[in-house]
């Protein structure tokens, strides 16, 4: 590990301990405030919630760095994996959003880091939900030694002047976005020696016109770090 990487990890660790102290201290402070001072109790509660968010964010970053550096690979049955992911998303996201899976072959095994793969899918789905998609469609297939995962949605189209830049860091059209989501996705995919493509446009069928935003990820089937 490079020296500056080590320093970054140490900083993250130090921050984790400090946040724990803030949370514990604030919890204790609450006990000294009488029930009659509802406003102060509410404010401390908000401070605790926000501190817990920082803690979670920090833990996620540390976990990401750990998985990324070690890059242990798992033999993933991609059909089962997508089904499990859909189950998870259905609980997390509003009921109005429909998740569809074309099934695809049931026996494709992909060698990849499961944690990072799930993180990449989560990130793509989060964007689809934020683009007001009402349907998200998965398909998987295999071509010789490569595995493809396609995730499409019918949300708002990606503006033409944005589509070539969405994988670049800090590119965002959202007031509260960081523009790091898809940058991280591409990073993960490339670490597995794969690639990712995006298409955004109108699809025409007999009856209707639909927005179609597609992310196609290609992985080598037998990836070795
Ligand atoms: N499914 C999608 N539909 C429409 N636009 C999208 C979609 N996915 C990504 N984008 C566009 O790509 C940009 C970059 O996405 P990315 O996930 O990297 O950052 P973000 O979503 O803006 O911020 P963050 O992920 O930190 O919340 C978005 O701001 C948005 O304009
Ligand atoms: Mg995003």
What is the mean pLDDT for each group of 10 consecutive residues in the chain (225 residues)?
76 84 94 90 93 86 84 93 92 88 90 93 93 94 94 95 92 85 94 96 87 96 80
Confidence at residue 195, expressed as pLDDT on a 0 to 100 scale: 96
Its pTM stands at: 0.82
Asked whether 172 lines ligand 1 (CB < 6 A), one says yes
- Does the Cβ of 119 fall within 6 Å of ligand 1? no
Residue of 124, 127, 154, 167 with the most ligand 1 atoms within 8 Å of its CB, for mutation: 127
DSSP string, 199-224: EEEEEE-SS-EEEEEEEEEEEETT--
- Give residue 194's pLDDT: 96
The pLDDT, as a whole number, for residue 147 is 95
112: nearest Cα among 187, 191, 181, 182: 191
Number of H helices, E strands in the chain: 6, 7
What atom of ligand 1 comes closest to residue 179's alpha carbon?
Answer: 19
How many whole angstroms from 179 Cα to the centroid of ligand 1? 7
Amino acid 157: pLDDT: 96
Give me the pLDDT at residue 135, please. 94
What pLDDT sits at residue 213? Answer: 97
131 within ligand 1 shell (Cβ under 6 A) = yes
Q: Using CA atoms, how far apart are residues 115 and 72, in angstroms rounded to an integer?
A: 10
Q: Which two tokens stand for residue 12?
A: 């993250």
In this structure, what is the dihedral angle of CA atoms 88, 136, 187, 54, given to the nearest 10 degrees?
-50
């Amino acid at each position: 590990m490079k020296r500056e990487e080590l320093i970054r990890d140490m900083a993250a660790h130090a921050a984790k301990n400090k946040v724990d102290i803030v949370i514990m201290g604030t919890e204790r402070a609450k006990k000294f405030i009488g029930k009659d001072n509802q406003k102060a109790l509410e404010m401390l509660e908000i401070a605790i919630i926000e501190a817990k968010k920082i803690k979670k964010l920090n833990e996620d970053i540390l976990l990401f760095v750990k998985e990324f550096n070690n890059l242990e690979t798992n033999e993933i049955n991609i059909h089962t994996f997508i089904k499990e992911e859909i189950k998870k998303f259905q609980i997390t996201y509003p009921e109005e959003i429909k998740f569809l899976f074309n099934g695809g072959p049931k026996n494709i095994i992909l060698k990849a880091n499961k944690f990072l793969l799930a993180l990449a899918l989560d990130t793509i789905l989060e964007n689809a939900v934020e683009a007001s998609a009402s349907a998200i469609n998965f398909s998987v297939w295999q071509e010789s030694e490569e595995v493809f995962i396609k995730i499409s949605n019918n949300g708002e189209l990606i503006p033409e002047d944005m589509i070539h830049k969405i994988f670049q860091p800090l590119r965002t059209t959202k007031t509260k976005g960081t523009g790091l989501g898809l940058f991280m996705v591409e990073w993960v995919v490339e670490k597995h020696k794969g690639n990712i493509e995006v298409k955004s446009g109108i699809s025409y069928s007999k009856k209707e016109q639909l927005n179609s935003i597609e992310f196609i990820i290609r992985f080598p089937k037998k990836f070795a770090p």
